[in-house]
Amino acid sequence: MHHLLITNIGLLCGLEKQGQERSRFCGTEMASLHTIENAWLYMEDHKIHSFGKMEKMDFFSAENVYDAEGRVILPAWVDSHTHLVFASSREAEFVDRVKGMSYEEIARRGGGILNSAKKLNEISESELFDKSLERLHQVVAKGTGTIEIKSGYGLTLEAELKMLRVIRRLKETHLIPIKASFLAAHAYPLEFKENHEGYLNLIINQMIPQIVDDGLADYIDVFCEKGFFSVDETARLLDAGWKAGLKPKIHANQLHYSGGVQVGVKHNAISVDHLECVGEEEIAALKNSNTIPTLLPAAAFFLGINYQPARKMIDAGLPVCLATDYNPGSCPSGNVPLLLTIACTQLKMTPEEAINAVTINGAAALEMSHEVGSIAVGKKANLIVAGKIPSYQYIPYNFGNNPVERMLINGVFL
Ligand code: NIG
Ligand code: FE
């Protein structure tokens, strides 16, 4: 059995007392990040076994002891929304946007998601895997210890399967836990531009059954937005997903007050993600639900659009979650430390709220709170060992830098 004892931890952050674990932190609960100064942490069989104050350290027969010499330890980030599997970058569109073109205009011209779909169809499965694995290593080095990855640049049965098989191979590397979402409803392919019914039938009658048969996805996703998939189309897809055993996690209210949040809540979505356009009605719908509101402010930052009203949502008592949205169009970065800075400076979330949003609430958005997202007895030991930083607040403060010195995954140093 694998054992590891860490001693002299300057600050052990994001912990939960035994018997008091929560699956999510709502509203004012997000304001506190529980910590122990000068702590020890013992891991056994890849899980967190126990922790406490150095003065009261019990004795263990650990084969491996690591002296943290005052370093800060936190739960690894849970990035619950990414499109990390893609064929190539899209910096030409970035330059077009810098010069004044909007994200929607670029999409209408056949750029954007359709541009990525073209490239995805051209690349071999093995090259796609190699590129994606490299990106996965990069985000793990910045503290991500659990991740969700979507398909959605295939837009044909074969190419969506190709993406989902790549995600499965990434899972099989056992680098970090991964959940997969099926996102064929990301954009209408050119051949179905005037035939929405045809594409919806393809998704519902062919893609969903095959993907479920092959066990390739945990969730179904839809880009519910003007110019993409309407509320009614989203509703049909979510019904079909539920019937086949795929729970919804959807893209909603990024560019418009589209009714996306309401249709997600109505279909018991696990989460509704983006939420730049959220007002009283959307907040009221979320209040009466178990659906997690997931904010993707790094995408709003990169597109230069309005930020999510995080304060209103937290003040309304919601379990706000943060994720990167790592993708080649609206957020070509899976950098969670930078996301934390954006959440603090632009959304006015406190460091405690932002860290809770991307740890315990990220875990809730992937239905994994029992396994990851906090330092609690019995959870997977997926942890960040930060360098010798003065506090956890220093992480969003010291923006652009990587606070991670080493990662522990399943209680083993990478
Ligand atoms: O979450 N908004 C929809 N999908 C992605 C962007 C996709 C792309 O531009 O490639 C997002 O922002
Ligand atoms: Fe996205």
112 in contact with ligand 1, CB cutoff 6 A: yes
Domain ranges (residues) in the chain: 3-75+374-413, 78-364
d(CA 72, CA 57): 18
pLDDT of 61 reads 64
Q: Which atom of ligand 1 is nearest to the CA of 107?
A: 9
Distance 174 CA to ligand 2 centre (A): 24
Query: Measured from the CB, is residue 328 less than 6 Å from ligand 1?
Result: yes
CA-CA distance, 207 to 259, in Å (whole number)? 25
Residue 62 pLDDT more than 80? no
Question: Which of 104, 116, 119, 325 has the most ligand 1 atoms within 8 A of CB, as the residue to mutate?
Answer: 325
The percent of residues above 90 in pLDDT, for the chain, comes to 95
Q: Whose CA is nearest to atom 8 of ligand 1?
A: 329
Is residue 339 within 8 Å of residue 324, measured between CB atoms?
Answer: yes
Q: What's the CA-to-centroid distance between 387 and ligand 1, angstroms? A: 33
pLDDT at 63: 77
Residue closest via CA to ligand 1's atom 9 equals: 329
Q: Class of 3-75+374-413 per CATH?
A: mainly beta
Taking the alpha carbons at both ends of the chain, their separation in whole angstroms is 18
The pLDDT > 70 percentage for the chain reads 99
Instruction: Please tell me the distance between residue 63's alpha carbon and the centre of ligand 1 in angstroms.
Output: 47
- What is the per-residue pLDDT across 253-276, written as a single tens digit (0 to 9) for each? 999 999 999 999 999 999 999 999
Q: Give the closest residue to 384 by CA, choosing from 361, 359, 365, 367.
A: 359
Name the 3-class secondary structure at 204: helix
The letter for the amino acid at 313 is: M
DSSP state letters, 225-291: STTSB-HHHHHHHHHHHHHHT-EEEEEESSSS--SHHHHHHHTT-SEEEE-SS--HHHHHHHHTSS-
Which residue is listed with tokens 């979320």?
286
Domain 78-364: what homologous superfamily? Metal-dependent hydrolases (3.20.20.140)
State pTM to two decimals: 0.98
Q: Tell me the residue type at 376.
A: A
Two tokens, residue 71: 């370093």
pLDDT (tens digit, 9 = 90+) per residue, 283-325?
999 998 999 999 999 999 999 999 999 999 999 999 999 999 9
**112 C-alpha to ligand 1 centroid (Å):** 8
Mean per-residue pLDDT of the chain:
96
Does residue 93's CB lie within 6 angstroms of at least one atom of ligand 1? no
- Segment 355-407, tens digit of pLDDT: 999 999 999 999 999 999 999 999 999 999 999 999 999 999 999 999 999 99
- Report how far residue 128's alpha carbon sits from residue 86's, in angstroms, rounded to the nearest whole number: 7
**Which ligand neighbours the alpha carbon of 80 most closely?**
2
* C-alpha 208 – ligand 2 centre gap (Å): 20
Please report the pLDDT score of residue 60 as a whole number: 65
Q: SS3 sequence, 308-353?
A: CCHHHHHHCCCCCEECCCCECCCECCCCHHHHHHHHHHHHCCCHHH
Nearest-ligand number for the alpha carbon of 113: 1
Residue 331 alpha carbon, nearest atom of ligand 1: 12
Is the shortest distance between the CB of 251 and ligand 1 below 6 Å?
yes
- Cα 273 to averaged position of ligand 2 atoms, centre (Å): 8
Residues with CB under 5 A from ligand 2 (ion): 325
